[in-house]
Amino acid sequence: MSAVRKIQKKKEAKVIQLKLIKGGRTPDLDKLVHGLWTLAYSSLWNNREFSINETEQLKDLLSEHFENNKNCKRNFKDLVERICLAKRFVSRRRGRYISKPIDWLNINYKNGLSGTASWLEEVKEQRKAVPHYNEGITTLANGILKYMESPNIMVFLRYRRMLLEQKQFDLLQIFQITIINLQYIL
């Protein structure tokens, strides 16, 4: 009987448990993820409060959009532009909405941030024929990145003026709210 038990024990498979170790982001990437979260929050969910745990979970989802990307700053600017395109899409017609952040920021959710990649590609394609097409979103992306690198009043005023000259008032509002949140709140 004991021989049967030994054979049965040998046939059982061992369960290997893996631990997830957080902290795979570099300080530079962490700064970009924080800035991107601040912009997404400022433009899409500014009327909601998030706990520290929720915010960290959402930042982790955003950081997945940077994986396997060699140029993080270029990717940051593209993601900012895509968030702006989504904001404009929702604002254009009544009844449109952005999903919950936990879904919308998930890299596998095709109706979220991941789904906006094709929108930006269309904008870039259109820019080949019309160079200044939708240039406000690029100005905003450059302004947020530049402010994150050098947070001072001169950078703020420069990009504020550029958005005003381009008559991009919706993006100016997003820019200003994002700067306030970067500087004082989040």
Q: Where are the domains of the chain?
A: 29-185
- Residue 18: pLDDT over 50: no
Q: Tell me if the pTM is above 0.85.
A: no
pLDDT in tens, 153-180: 999 999 999 999 999 999 999 999 999 9
Q: CA–CA separation, 181 vs 55, rounded Å? A: 14
| Buried b or exposed e, range 122-136, using 16+ CB within 10 angstroms | ebeeeeeeeeeebeb
Those residues whose C-beta lies under 8 Å from the C-beta of residue 136, and which sit 6 or more positions away, are: 84, 163, 166, 168, 171
In this predicted model, what pLDDT tens digit does every residue of 21-73 receive, in sequence order? Answer: 455 678 899 999 999 999 999 999 999 999 999 999 999 999 999 998 889 99
pLDDT at residue number 20: 44
Report the Cα–Cα distance between both ends of the chain, in Å, rounded.
66
Helices 72-92 and 27-44 pack at an angle, to 10 degrees, of 10
Distance CA 88, CA 171 (A): 9
* pLDDT of amino acid 69: 82
Whether residue 46 contacts residue 174, with contact meaning beta carbons closer than 8 Å, is answered with no
